[in-house]
Amino acid sequence: MTASLNRRNRQRDAFFDNAKYLAIVLVAMGHAWGQILDGNRSVEALYRFVYTFHMPAFIVISGYFSRTFDLSPKRVRRLVTGVVVPYVVFEVVYSLHRRVVDDAPDHPISLLDPTYLLWFLCALFVWRLTTPIWQTVRWPLPISLVIAALASMAPSVGNDLNMQRVLQFLPCFVLGLLLRPEHFSLVRRRSARIAAVPVCAVAVAVAWWSVPRMDIAWFYRNAAAQATDAPWWSGPVVTLALFGCSVVLSACFFAWVPGRRMWFTALGAGTIYGYLLHGLLVRTGTYLGWFHAPVLDRPEGAIGLTVAGVAIVTLLCTKPVRRVLRCVVEPRMEWAFKPLPGTGAGAPERPERRPAETAGKTASRAGATGTADAPAGSSRDAARDAAREERAPV
């Protein structure tokens, strides 16, 4: 059993596991900083900087690993067990949590109104269902950008399933569908890493400048322009500008993600757990007033909160947590589905063998060109990664 687990860990692409772990760390930091923004311009500048690209980077990775998605029974199973079931379970958990901790016994449980960070699972469900469309049309990215721009000036797009975010973040998912391994190798060249440093420095400076001048609601992408008292035409302008900034900063982020195995690489397989669970702690702190502590108004308090957020989300991605909660986050649920075509009742799924590209090709190409830290693995390894990512979306 141990040898099998070790072999499985080696087969995963370290680069993407590292990227997912570092992205979930940024998510946790952003949620922590979001509680102490009042009157703290430095924290808000960093918050805006991170919010420009942390979810777009996550969504790009999700799109990249959804390239083989179709409406076959096997992949529909994975969509249900890896996205729908966790959403339903945690929507109920978050709602009951608020009833108890926030002393709000009448708080409704609504599957159409995602609580807090659960919007991502709703969005991923919609995006994956539409994947065959984006792989069929001739200009998928421009079309998705037009849809996002139209949504940004349409207050009539309701809050059901947080549809504004679904549509405004859609181009990031479509971009992920279009990416290939060589694109990630390109942004991880030494020249790209060097260029990422001044780009990020300028981005932080612009974020600092924007604090008193730009409504922070733009960074959430969850409402039309009119909700910020801005003219309708500003919606498409800001949406397209933010998309461009998110692509550039996501590339800078990927440029500095290590491609070799690190101490945190194994945690990348459990980021869905960290994502879903850390929100409960943030909500608890909000309901109970933990973030109003005077110490958090001082630099050492903000630093301590940041370190605590990183430590907690890291702990929530570990194997013991995953082992306990796998039944609700990554359930098998063979009993709920008809047997797959060509298999007997209860027969296990065969490993995925249909990657569009392979990490092995990237590795050999990187070896020929001298690219550092290129992804490595065989086509079978890449296929297993793709299948595993479909089941665990974050």
- The reported pLDDT for the residue numbered 365 is 42
CA–CA distance, 91 with 220 (Å, rounded to integer): 20
How far apart CA 282 and CA 71 sit, in angstroms, is 36
Position 170 scores a pLDDT of 98
Which residue do the tokens 């760390």 mark?
25
16 Cβ contact partners less than 8 Å away, ≥ 6 residues apart? 61, 65, 268, 375, 385, 389
**Is 20 within 8 Å of 273 (Cβ atoms)?**
no
- Report in angstroms the alpha-carbon separations of 355 from 69, 180, 181, 300, 379: 10, 11, 11, 47, 7
Q: Report how far apart, in Å, the C-alpha atoms of 159 and of each of 156, 184, 220, 277, 281 are.
A: 9, 34, 14, 23, 24
Distance CA 275, CA 86 (A): 12
What stretches of the chain show up as alpha helix (H) in DSSP?
A: 2-11, 14-33, 41-64, 73-79, 85-101, 119-129, 131-134, 140-151, 163-168, 170-178, 181-187, 190-210, 234-255, 271-288, 299-316, 319-329, 359-369, 379-391
Q: How far is CA 205 from CA 71, 302, 391, in A?
A: 45, 19, 39
| Dihedral angle of Cα 175, 34, 252, 24, to the nearest 10 degrees | -70
What would the two tokens of residue 164 be? 């504004």
- The CA distance from 168 to 231, in Å, is 18
Q: Is 337 exposed, middle or buried (0-12, 13-18, 19+ CB in 10 A)?
A: middle
Long-range contacts of 282-288 (CB under 8 A, 24+ apart): 282/31, 282/32, 282/35, 282/116, 283/94, 283/97, 283/98, 283/101, 283/116, 284/97, 284/101, 285/35, 286/35, 287/98, 287/101, 287/102, 288/101
Q: Specify the pLDDT at position 11.
A: 53
User: Other C-beta atoms within 10 Å of 139: how many?
Assistant: 9
Two structure tokens written together for 85: 């079931």
Q: In this structure, what token pair is assigned to residue 394? A: 């974050």
Integer Cα distance of 158 and 161 in angstroms: 8
Question: Tokens standing for 135?
Answer: 């792989």
What pLDDT was estimated at residue 139?
Answer: 97
> Tokens 């249900």 label which residue?
80
Residue 109 in contact with residue 92, Cβ under 8 Å?
Answer: yes
Find all residues with CB under 8 Å of 188, minimum gap 6, and list them: 15, 254, 255, 257, 259, 371, 372, 373, 374
Nearest 5 degrees, angle CA 32-CA 35-CA 36?
100
Amino acid letter, residue 172:
C
> pLDDT 10s per residue in the chain (394 long)?
444 444 454 457 899 999 999 999 999 999 999 999 988 899 999 999 999 999 999 999 999 999 999 999 999 999 999 999 999 999 999 999 999 999 999 999 989 999 999 999 999 999 999 999 999 999 999 999 999 999 999 998 877 899 999 999 999 999 999 999 999 999 999 999 999 999 999 999 999 999 999 999 999 999 999 888 899 999 999 999 999 999 999 999 999 999 999 999 999 999 999 999 999 999 999 999 999 999 999 999 999 999 999 999 999 999 999 999 999 999 999 999 989 887 654 455 555 544 444 444 443 344 443 333 433 344 444 444 555 455 555 6
Amino acid letter, residue 261: R
